[in-house]
A and B are shown apart, each in its own frame.
Chain A
Amino acid sequence: MLKIKDLRAGYNGDEIIHGIDFEVKTGEIVAIIGPNGSGKSTLLKSIFNLAKTYSGEINYKDKDIKNLKTFKLIKEGICFVPQGRQVFNDLSVLENLEMGAFVLRDEELIRRNMLDVFKKFPILETRQKDLAVNFSGGQQQILAISRVLMQNPQLLLLDEPSLGLSPKAMKEIFKKIQEINKEGVSIIIVEQNAKQAVEIANRTYVLEDGKIALVGGKEILKNKKIKDIYFGGRDD
């Protein structure tokens, strides 16, 4: 579905990603983990054209999507949830969802997507007239994810969805991510919470200094490097 070859990307002339090869197959959850500053978010942003791509290839369904404008990426089915529970604070829940579907023109499709979101997240229907600013952290993250579900995603890019959430809210978010994936949506998830991310992922890439240091499945958690980075060398 998504194939990245020898990607070099960054911001303002500074290269942060140094030649990465990366792949996501249809229906997969792929986790990207690594220490702070390793280039996880930059890799995700370069797919969504929010970081500058200096060289390499980004092919989505055999089509070059490098430097494609945001609304075109959304129409292609690639949707991005930024880190930090970013919602439109002064807009109601309903308006946030409507803005999620901004690039869509088909009113019937928007209505269907809205009903689908309400079915998945009943709290959004109950509190549809409330301002997003009045939501808790976990609810705001649910709203941010729901907002992109309005766009009919085929490939969902999630940048640290559990950032700053309580353990309970975090668990709920990961459960919802798995549910979304079961509906056929491929997911790339960038996470600091390595254990949770690896457990739900089909494959995990470990980034270090803008390069891929490791690739593997759930067994990757037993790797010494991962234990050193995330668990201080311990086994839990």
Chain B
Amino acid sequence: MINLCQIIINGLIIGAIYSLVSSGFSLIYSTNKFIHFAHGAVISFSAYIFWMFFSSIHFSFFLSIFLALTFSGCLGWALNYFVYKSFRKKKSSGNIMLIVSFGILIFLESVIQIIFGARVKLINFDFLSKMIFIFGARVNYLQIITIFVSILCFIILFIFLNKTRLGKAVRAVSDNKDVAEIVGIDSEKIYSLSFVIGSLFAGIAGVLIGLNQALSISMERA
């Protein structure tokens, strides 16, 4: 019984991380209609940025999280604005965009290696490692926070997409971009917004993964 509880809780924790990564990924995919492979590199980059501010520069925990998330959102915006937008203007096909996203993935991994080096990094925050027992299963605070944050992000995203004017515009663009433009929705702004939100989610996942495991250049592939 204890083993079963442990397996369920471990599954929930992994599922929570996956849901964070995939909700950002699918938001970008649904509006932009191509697979943004570099999404994984945004996860790694934000984890490294969090490590830099928290473990290397020794900023406070929450300030480091804030800076890492700000960075990931800005990185998503920059990738769209400086790279994908120009390919969209040339009416590049989904296949070309896919290859471009592979290129960005390799580029970002190389940048991480140049800035932070190839050695594995660890983020130590003892408070989050404290264990509690739920129906006999061992769970630490970080894992509980991971599940809580994931559910919270999912609810916020759901409310944004279904209850706000801008969120509905995101859904409208992902449904029919041409009609969305005819009713006055600026699809470029929506692409940009979906990259920022999607990358923000990747950033949250990066911070949580970084707190949970060692940082390595291709950690997002694990």
Decide if B108 is an interface residue (CB 8 Å cutoff). Answer: no
Nearest A residue to B162, CB-CB: A95
**CB atoms of B182 and A70 under 8 A apart:** yes
Cα–Cα distance between A86 and B186 once the two chains are bound (Å): 18
Question: How far apart are B164's CB and chain A's nearest CB, in angstroms?
Answer: 11
For the residues of A in contact with B, the DSSP-based class is loop
**CB atoms of A82 and B184 under 8 A apart:** no
**CB atoms of B178 and A82 under 8 A apart:** yes
Cα–Cα distance between A52 and B181 once the two chains are bound (Å): 16
Question: How far apart are B153's CB and chain A's nearest CB, in angstroms?
Answer: 22
Given contacts A74-B184, A102-B183, contact A91 B165 (CB under 8 A): no
Segment 29-61 of B: residues with Cβ below 8 Å from A: none
Cα–Cα distance between A51 and B175 once the two chains are bound (Å): 22
Nearest A residue to B169, CB-CB: A102
Question: Which residues of chain A come closer than 8 Å to B184, judged between CB atoms?
Answer: 70-71, 74, 102-103, 151
Question: How far apart are B168's CB and chain A's nearest CB, in angstroms?
Answer: 5
Given contacts A70-B184, A74-B184, A147-B183, contact A99 B178 (CB under 8 A): no
- The residue among A88, A95, A98, A151 with the most chain B CB atoms within 10 A of its own CB is A88
**CB atoms of A80 and B182 under 8 A apart:** yes
Decide if A100 is an interface residue (CB 8 Å cutoff). Answer: yes
Decide if A223 is an interface residue (CB 8 Å cutoff). Answer: no
**CB atoms of B175 and A91 under 8 A apart:** yes
How would residues 96 to 127 of chain A score, 1 for a CB under 8 Å from any chain B CB and 0 otherwise? 00111011000000000000000000000000
**Given A70, A89, A95, A103, which contacts B176 in the complex, CB threshold below 8 Å?**
A89
Decide if B185 is an interface residue (CB 8 Å cutoff). Answer: yes
Segment 131-181 of B: residues with Cβ below 8 Å from A: 165, 168-169, 171-172, 175-176, 178-181
**CB atoms of B183 and A89 under 8 A apart:** no
**Given A71, A82, A90, A102, which contacts B175 in the complex, CB threshold below 8 Å?**
A90
Cα–Cα distance between A99 and B185 once the two chains are bound (Å): 8
**CB atoms of A99 and B186 under 8 A apart:** no
**Given B165, B179, B186, which contacts A88 in the complex, CB threshold below 8 Å?**
B179
**Given A86, A87, A98, which contacts B168 in the complex, CB threshold below 8 Å?**
A98
Cα–Cα distance between A70 and B178 once the two chains are bound (Å): 12
Question: How far apart are B68's CB and chain A's nearest CB, in angstroms?
Answer: 33
Nearest B residue to A80, CB-CB: B182
**CB atoms of A95 and B168 under 8 A apart:** yes
- The residue among A48, A74, A99 with the most chain B CB atoms within 10 A of its own CB is A99
Question: Which residues of chain A come closer than 8 Å to B171, judged between CB atoms?
Answer: 88, 90-91, 95
Nearest A residue to B30, CB-CB: A90
Nearest A residue to B179, CB-CB: A86
Question: How far apart are A42's CB and chain B's nearest CB, in angstroms?
Answer: 15
Cα–Cα distance between A86 and B176 once the two chains are bound (Å): 8
Given contacts A71-B184, A71-B186, contact A98 B175 (CB under 8 A): no
**Given A50, A88, A148, which contacts B172 in the complex, CB threshold below 8 Å?**
A88
> Which residues does A use to contact B, with CB under 8 Å?
48, 50, 70-71, 74, 80, 82, 86-91, 95, 98-100, 102-103, 147-148, 151
Known: A91-B172, A95-B168. 18 other contacts (CB 8 A): A50-B182, A70-B181, A82-B178, A82-B179, A86-B176, A86-B178, A87-B176, A88-B172, A88-B175, A91-B175, A99-B180, A99-B183, A99-B185, A100-B183, A102-B172, A103-B184, A147-B183, A148-B183
